[in-house]
Structure 1
Amino acid sequence: MDAPDALGADMTLITPTELAAMMASPTPPVVLDMRWGGPAAPGSGRAEFEDGHIPRSQWVSTDEELADLSKPGGRHPLPDRDAFQAAMRRHGVRQDRPVVALDGAESLSAGRLWWLLTDAGFPEVLVLDGGFAAWQAAGLPVQEGPAEPVATGDAVVGPPQLPVVDAADIAGVSRNIWDVRTPERFRGETEPIDPVAGHVPGAHNLSARGAHRPDGRFKPADELQRVFADVRPGDVVYCGSGVTASQVLLAMHIAGIDGVRLYPGSWSDWISDPSRPVARG
């Protein structure tokens, strides 16, 4: 199931000041806000957006537009490519404009959109480092209410560009498998979301928490290189449902590490078949 490696690291992250300057240009980017309450509060993201958002930005549903919950394959199966293209066009995404993705602070859902658009071959996908919290902290304008209507875009979702694996591939993986959930979930000591605790046998724990500063911004590239010092192209990364793993792949990209494969279904898909082994400790 592997696809060609992604391009090398580039200037993927932008600051609030840089975004404000881009938005004042004659050809502003399309700004997409993925704030999401997670499994505990899946509908809260839209309410947060309407309480205050970057002017002219659009809210995107992680559950409904960045996943297809009607399919098997874990809690957040990847969306159908045609449906994802239609969603991006609804939000005004165009081939000739950059897309800037953001969420509340830590780029969790923004990382998911970055992965999906990069996989789709979209030419320029940027992430607002520190998300809406950083925008507010910079004292930049905030707009309340629903998103403003936008003209339909012409985004094209092309053939897959990023490497993935499924559960059947895991047995044949000869490279490292990295589980980026918290250490206590990896060890099976607690499982607040999925019905079975533990991890894929042979996996190593590399918590996603290590990629961020306390304010939600990513650590600098040189620090991320140390966080991911043991990661190599061809390795596999997974989490609970594939969302956090996409965020970690973004952090790896910032560090200059590409070609790491995503297990989109992640732990929630692995345990959907009771015959698959589970490790703890």
Structure 2
Amino acid sequence: MYRLLAADGQARERRNQLTHPAYFKPELLATGPNQVWSWDITKLKGPLKWTCFQLYVILDIFSRYVVGWLIAPRESAELARQLIAETVAKQGVEPRTLTVHADRGTSMRSKLVAELLVDLDVAKSHSRPYVSDDNPFSEAQFKTLKYRPDFPERFASIEEARAHCQRFFQWYNEQHRHSGIGFMTPTAVHHGQAAQLFEQRADTLNAAFAAHPRRFKGHCPQPPRLPIAAWINPPKQENSPTKTPDPCSLN
């Protein structure tokens, strides 16, 4: 009987089936600082089992510069709204120039945050459900934080957690040489100092090559390329950006 029904197109699933909407794949491009920010919340273990503190971090995806952060005993949409508003004001972001990307957590999709972004004329973007690759910059930054040798198993108090993060983010912005931005510090890229540092590196390498060409087997060394674009989900057919010119070829 089932074969006859199937042949006539009358056999189907009789139970109601859950259908998922088609979510848009975010494709975000930043060619300079304060164009695309990524923000997320991670947990820091507290002094007792089942206790934790919430670390909010806003990251510029082009420069990898942490533009804002806070630690609170709980996750709150009101705290997220305050952090975003204060960070936008501190960075002097002009209307219609910034996109803020986040996953689909409760605070990220809250009405308070959505209304704030509308008031500030800032575009919002969200990851697709169950797709961790849509927010790679924040996830990588949290991994850098938690894989540091001095990161403790637990924090005795929220004050201790804040003191630790204060030291970490100062190191991360001012001293950490990030491989994704040509081994520059996030501060140098965010504040427009990277081009000058690149030229200084190139001059040093050129001088070393001129003095000892055999040491480099006849090939002039190049400093790592500076970032010219940062993507969240680049289009597959997108042409790769123009590479930084070889400083030796300009001599």
TM-score where L is the length of structure 1: 0.29
Greater C-alpha radius of gyration? 2
Instruction: Please identify which structure carries the higher helix content.
Output: 2
By relative contact order (CA 8 Å, sep 6+), the higher-ranking structure is: 1
Q: Which structure features the higher share of strand residues?
A: 2
